[in-house]
Structure 1
Amino acid sequence: MDHLQTNLPYSRPNTPGLHPSQIGFVGIGAMGYFMARNLANRRVIPGFAHAPLLLWNRSAEKPQKLVKELGEERVRITQSIEEIVNSCEVIITNLANDEVVKSIYDQFLKILTQSPPVKNKIFVETSTVGLILSVLYILTGLSSISGNLITLGELDGLLSQIRHVHFVTAPVFGTPSVADKAQLVIIMSGDYRSKKELAYLLVPSMGRKVIDVGENVEKAPTFKLIGNSMILGAIEVFGEAYTLGEKAGIEADRVNELVKDIFPAPGLMAYSDRMANDNFDGSIGFAIDGGIKDATHIRRLTATYNSPMPAIDVAHQHLITARAIHTTQKLEGKQSVETLDWSGIIAGSRVAAGLDPFDSKKHQSIVQEDE
């Protein structure tokens, strides 16, 4: 059996559709940098020409760094979103939050309406977003939506009304370090043929596995939020356990060793290591703002489906507590890191227990003596 077949839920598509000649990537952030780099370095198939990956980002620093790392034969910075949309057959977006997603796809729609494509284009949204995007106004020559909200399904409807245009949601599981190693798990929903083509483009170049959850584009983001609820719930429990251990005189190294014995998942062990060592630098992890965004989306999802998740409610409160403390420290010039990682959630448990939020060296263990 084909090695990829075990990690992809599709049969191999017929060539030449397997290898689009031009791909664009929008959003070269903490995750997007590694995703774009690995995609640009994808395995070269004999007989297929690969044009440089086209990049667009609001700021130029990271795209320029990527060009310096790979060279212009692999990646090239575009001067406008119009060039990405008009030149590429596949456009991948990895963006910071719902508002940025709304803004970028608003621009996509306007460009597509002004210059309708004459061949297939696939737009691939890989960010973690809610099912309802905040939107001020979207207008195309075909349809308009005014008001404050637009669902992913409605966005899919607007895009699919334009001939040759397809939309796939493909959020990914993994931290920047996982993206660096091309070990992301990719969740896909949307047009079946588009997913089939994308799967063989993105695995193994960008990820290790694709999970298909159907043609409704809202399913993949829902699945991603369910997965994130498990991760967030776990690190909340870890934070509470470490805090209890600190109060009871159990060394953090001991708790961390136990985590590795009973929860041997690489991602969870990494967050445990951060808590054990007070390593809360979000510039090389998952920034707490992203954690609060995801927790907010999860809570909205639980309300939509009347499916309570009390652990996430507590985690959301502790994330906000941690961010508030860190913000105060920054105003006073006392912060230890510029960007706080979401493993800093432990601060919520620590301050509730009367401990320092981010520095366990300041704790005095309370140990019950035998009588």
Structure 2
Amino acid sequence: MDRPQHINLLHVQPSVANPFSRPTTPGHHDALQIGFCGLGAMGYPMASNLAKWRKQHVHQPLPILVWNRTKAKADDLAKELGDELITVADSLEQIATECDIIITNLSNDDVVRNVYKKLAEALQDDKPTKNKILVETSTIYPTLAAELDTLLSSLPSTHFITSPVFGAPSAAAAAHLLIVMSGDYRSKKEVAHILCPAVGRKVIDLGGNVEKAPTFKLIGNAMILGSLELIAEVFTLSEKAGIGAPLVHQFIKDIMPAPPLINYGEKMLHDQFDGSKGFAIDGGLKDSAHIRRLATEMDAPMPALDAAHHHMLTARALHANAARVGNARFDVLDWSSLVAGTRVAAGLDGFDSSKHSNKVIPEKDDS
């Protein structure tokens, strides 16, 4: 991929949630058929919030048409919200041909590529006669975005934008995601007012190159993952030094009260490594591999990310061994479990902090 050029965000004021003016056609959103592909930990609450918001704010909206590889998840959403808000698609071909806007939130690059190939094949067989926008919200490598753009560019009236989102599943459930967009301007404008504030609190526009938003997403995730690595290291040091992680966690709350630092610190502090309720470690390893690849291509060393990647691998290996002998506490690990890597390297138990000595060492009374 080309080296990213400087991105000018000065036109996006901190107080502006959406940098795009509203689409010019009144009532246009009412008749839009929206499709949503991928109902995992992020996609499920995003599709749910979108359907509920449109029910409350759009005059007689069409139900969201949803598809998931495991159909039971789509059926669960339809049962939860009702037929008025959700319709389960029989196939990706139905999503492709019937929807005006198709939003995808998928697990990894291979799945994204395969889903878009099927959508493109369906649209090649039944060419669109009116505007159609495909919106990729997953975390993917930037060159895949360019590949998808090329794949779809030969189809009439078809546009593609990248729109990755920042936030944990809890933020998705609260419609508090940060949305980053790049690609066709008119398409971004249309989609921005559909997604914000229905599923997110703010939109950042990165221009017309579809690779820019995925690049920004990797950079943002690098900051988060690097922060997790630092927390894991200082928690482990504090346990070894007899100070204890709880005091360091309180220090974070007092001095650096950023929600990710507090929330992930809480998970590490109490060994809450259930990936089904957070960000699964396989996704973290996929993201860290992408970040390290990008850093290599840009000649920009990121040793903190190297350490985080290795510690996640250690945590996953420990978990796999525990699963083999029937001692695993969780079916899937959260990426905050990377602290197991720092703990084991320091001679501590990886997943059970109750076995650590975590009390302040009192001074001796020499009097």
TM normalised by structure 1 equals 0.91
Which residue number corresponds to residue 183 of structure 1? 176
Match of 1:37 among 44, 48, 55: 48
**CA shift in 2, pair 1:261/1:369, >3 Å:** closer
- SS of the aligned residue for 1:210 comes to strand
Shift of 1:267: 2.1
The answer as to whether partners of 1:131 and 1:221 remain within 8 angstroms in 2 is yes
Q: Aligned to 1:12, what secondary structure does the other structure show?
A: coil
Distance between the aligned counterparts of 2:292 and 2:31, measured in 1? Answer: 38
Counterpart for residue 13 of structure 1: 23
* Partner SS, residue 141 of structure 2: coil
Q: Over residues 176-218 of structure 1, what are the superposed CA-to-partner deviations in whole Å (9 max), with x where a residue is unaligned? A: 0000000000000010000001011111111000001111111
Task: Quote the offset at 1:18 in angstroms.
Answer: 4.3
In the alignment of these two chains, the number of paired residues is 350
Q: Does 2:69 align with 1:76?
A: no
Question: What residue identity is the alignment partner of 2:127?
Answer: P
Distance between the aligned counterparts of 1:105 and 1:228, measured in 2? 24
Instruction: Give 2:105's aligned residue.
Output: 94
| 2:334 is aligned with 1:338 | no
- Deviation digits for residues 75-128 of structure 1, max 9, x if unmatched? 010111111111000000000000100110110111111111000110000000
Q: Which amino acid aligns with 1:107?
A: K
Separation in 2, partners of 1:115, 1:59: 25
Asked if 1 retains the 8 angstrom alpha-carbon contact of 2:74 and 2:88, the reply is: yes
Residues 341-356 of structure 1 correspond to what in structure 2 (within 5 A)? 341-356=334-349
SS in 2 for 1:54: strand
Query: Structure 2 residue aligned with 1:204, among 197, 200, 211?
Result: 197
Select 1:267's aligned residue among 260, 275, 292: 260
Q: Is the 8 A contact 1:20 1:89 kept in 2?
A: no
Q: Aligned pair in 2 of structure 1 residues 99, 47: CA closer, same or farther (>3 Å)?
A: closer
Contact 1:239/1:275 (8 A) holds in 2: yes
In structure 2, give the amino acid aligned to 1:167. F
Helix, strand or coil at the partner of 1:41: helix
1:44: Cα distance to partner? 4.5
Match of 2:357 in 1: 364
Give the 3 Å change call, closer, same or farther, for CA 36–294 of structure 1 in structure 2.
Answer: same
TM-score (norm 2): 0.92
Give the stretch that moved more between structures: 15-24 or 349-358.
15-24
Q: CA deviation at 1:368?
A: 9.8
User: How far apart are the structure 1 equivalents of 2:151 and 2:93?
Assistant: 18
User: Quick one: distance in 2 between partners of 1:80 and 1:233?
Assistant: 39
Letter matched to residue 35 of structure 2:
G
Distance 1:27 1:200 in 2: 21
What does 1:167-246 align with in structure 2 at a 5 Å threshold? 167-246=160-239
C-alpha distance after superposition, 1:243-291 (max 9, x if no partner) = 0111111132211111112221222211010011111111100000000
| Contact 1:17/1:197 (8 A) holds in 2 | no
CA distance in 1 between partners of 2:28 and 2:189 (Å): 10
* Segment drifting more, 184-193 vs 55-64: 55-64
Percent identity for Structure 1 against Structure 2: 53
Report the Cα distance in structure 2 between the residues aligned to 1:55 and 1:47, rounded to whole angstroms: 19
- After TM superposition, the runs of 4+ consecutive aligned structure 1 residues lying more than 6 A away are 368-371
Question: Cα gap change, 1:330/1:161 in structure 2, threshold over 3 Å: closer, same or farther?
Answer: same
SS in 2 for 1:42: helix
Name the counterpart of 2:293: 300
